[in-house]
């Protein structure tokens, strides 16, 4: 038994009485049967009370870490972190289509919250799920497929404890990473979709203030494994230039923490994340907020948030803009429509962050924005329900798989109404 008391950011102290680490799926089943209130805990990277419970938290780090390739999927123990999964896949010549900004997060926790990387044609990490093994609130071990699976993948731990996930894999590939600077807001807004689709994965980092956008991180797939000097036409045409030294997206932070840039090709797992496995991801003492806005409303969303730039300036480390391809996962932020994600890395100052989150929601929710479930947001269930066409189907699924409400907590009550 271990005692982990706060989330990664140190912004939430867990009230759970214990963190238990079962060594087998049978032990998970026994724990659920014995616990009126229980929640799965991943790598603790969510920013709120999401993973908390008045009962016990269950870490799956003690389950056997065996990774099994079955045809075109890989069966992954739920508690494994993406970085560790990558070290299993690389010797087998396999890759995942995409990764988040950091490799430190657990697969099950990332999938449960709709965590994503970037790419106009890349779905969220949850989009790679092809099967799921789950211990439900009745203690039953089930393998979900079909419609139930699409309902259960992004479920924030409300349906049960996921013990393994089947993820789509593909042959290993290489990418280059190049940072561009000097792009103006005028050029970005004029050619937004062209910029965001100029490579396999594109992230725009901005402080919102000033006429200069900030940085554009371009991750391009290559088959050559060499240094590539190919300039990205749309960015060069728009007046941007290539950074000739390694960059961090937050001024003054250690560049050693970031994955190699400067156009040197490298394997997928060392280029898709922004941060290296052995180093601190992002700023450290921070909070994060993110909204996924339908791509069709991107220009309006950017305009509305830019108008808040000065108000956010002192509390914001940086914003990242990414894209996520549409999926059919019921509570996914990209359900039914391609999305642009507007992410905010804040100073860890909740009293100053909260009013800004309120102002963001005032302008973004009317555009159909859906919050990242793992980050700081305010909207309650009544405001969120209309944004998800399958909301009531999800609540029915939750009632069936967790009839006694073992996996519910204060967060699910506020934001899901269960």
Ligand X SMILES: Cc1cc2nc3c(=O)[nH]c(=O)nc-3n(C[C@H](O)[C@H](O)[C@H](O)COP(=O)(O)OP(=O)(O)OC[C@H]3O[C@@H](n4cnc5c(N)ncnc54)[C@H](O)[C@@H]3O)c2cc1C
Which positions lie near ligand X, rule CB under 6 A?
8-9, 39-46, 50-51, 60, 78, 100-102, 105-106, 108-110, 112-113, 115-116, 156-157, 161-162, 281-282, 288, 372, 374
Looking at the Cβ atoms of 43 and 215, the one nearer to ligand X is 43
Helix or strand holding residue 290 (H, E): strand 286-294
Find the shortest distance in angstroms from Cβ 227 to ligand X. 26
Burial class (CB in 10 A: 0-12, 13-18, 19+), 218: buried
**Among the listed residues 65, 41, 113, 82, the one whose alpha carbon sits nearest the alpha carbon of residue 274:** 82
Looking at the Cβ atoms of 42 and 127, the one nearer to ligand X is 42
Determine contact, residues 284/163, Cβ cutoff 8 Å.
no
Find the shortest distance in angstroms from Cβ 135 to ligand X. 9
Find the shortest distance in angstroms from Cβ 281 to ligand X. 4
- Tell me how crowded residue 231 is: count the other CB atoms within 10 A of its CB: 16
- Tell me how crowded residue 396 is: count the other CB atoms within 10 A of its CB: 12
Find all residues with CB under 8 Å of 373, minimum gap 6, and list them: 46, 50, 112, 113, 114, 154, 156, 331, 415
Find the shortest distance in angstroms from Cβ 321 to ligand X. 12
Looking at the Cβ atoms of 187 and 364, the one nearer to ligand X is 364
Find the shortest distance in angstroms from Cβ 73 to ligand X. 18
Find the shortest distance in angstroms from Cβ 44 to ligand X. 5
Looking at the Cβ atoms of 239 and 278, the one nearer to ligand X is 278
Helix 298-306 and helix 350-364: axis angle, to 10°?
Answer: 140
Burial class (CB in 10 A: 0-12, 13-18, 19+), 264: middle
Find the shortest distance in angstroms from Cβ 16 to ligand X. 11
DSSP per position, 153-182: SS-TT-SEEEEEEEEE-EE--EEEEEEEE-
Looking at the Cβ atoms of 9 and 95, the one nearer to ligand X is 9
Find the shortest distance in angstroms from Cβ 213 to ligand X. 19
* Strand 56-59 with 241-242, pairing: unpaired
Looking at the Cβ atoms of 155 and 304, the one nearer to ligand X is 155
* Strand 18-20 with 56-59, pairing: parallel
CA-CA-CA-CA torsion for 380, 381, 383, 387, nearest 10 degrees?
Answer: 130
Looking at the Cβ atoms of 215 and 238, the one nearer to ligand X is 215
Looking at the Cβ atoms of 281 and 371, the one nearer to ligand X is 281
């Amino acid at each position: 038994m271990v005692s982990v008391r706060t989330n990664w950011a140190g912004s939430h102290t867990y009230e759970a009485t214990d963190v238990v680490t079962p060594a087998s799926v049978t032990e998970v089943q026994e724990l659920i049967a014995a616990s009126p209130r229980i929640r799965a805990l991943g790598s603790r990277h969510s920013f709120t009370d999401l993973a908390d419970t008045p009962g016990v938290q269950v870490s799956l780090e003690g389950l056997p870490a065996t990774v099994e390739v079955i045809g075109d999927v890989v069966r992954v123990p739920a508690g494994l972190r993406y970085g560790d999964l990558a070290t299993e896949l690389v010797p087998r010549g396999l890759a995942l289509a995409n990764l988040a900004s950091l490799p430190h997060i657990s697969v099950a926790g990332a999938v449960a919250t709709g965590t994503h990387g970037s790419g106009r044609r890349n779905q969220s990490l949850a989009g790679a799920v092809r099967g799921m093994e789950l211990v439900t609130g009745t203690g039953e071990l089930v393998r979900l497929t079909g419609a139930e699976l699409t309902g259960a993948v992004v479920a924030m731990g409300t349906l049960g404890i996921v013990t393994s996930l089947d993820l789509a894999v593909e042959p290993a590939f290489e990418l280059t990473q190049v940072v561009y600077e000097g792009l103006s807001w005028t050029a970005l807004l004029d050619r937004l979709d062209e910029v965001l689709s100029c490579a396999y994965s594109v992230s725009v980092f901005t402080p919102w203030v000033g006429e200069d956008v900030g940085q554009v991180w371009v991750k391009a797939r290559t088959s050559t494994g060499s240094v590539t000097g190919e300039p990205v036409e749309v960015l060069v045409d728009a007046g941007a230039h290539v950074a000739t030294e390694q960059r961090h997206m937050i001024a003054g932070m250690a560049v050693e923490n970031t994955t190699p840039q400067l156009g040197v090709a490298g394997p997928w797992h060392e280029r898709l994340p922004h941060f290296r496995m052995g180093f601190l991801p992002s700023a450290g003492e921070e909070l994060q907020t993110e909204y996924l806005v339908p791509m069709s409303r991107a220009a309006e969303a950017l305009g509305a948030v830019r108008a808040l730039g000065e108000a956010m300036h002192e509390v914001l480390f940086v914003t990242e803009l990414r894209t996520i391809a549409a999926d059919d996962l019921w509570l996914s932020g990209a359900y039914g429509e391609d999305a642009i994600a507007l992410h905010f890395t804040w100073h860890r100052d909740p009293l100053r962050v909260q009013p800004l989150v309120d102002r963001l929601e005032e302008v973004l929710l009317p555009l159909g924005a859906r919050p990242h479930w793992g980050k700081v947001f305010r909207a309650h269930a009544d405001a969120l329900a209309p944004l998800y066409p399958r909301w009531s189907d999800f609540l029915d699924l939750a009632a069936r798989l967790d009839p006694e409400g073992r996996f519910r907590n204060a967060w699910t009550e506020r934001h899901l109404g269960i």
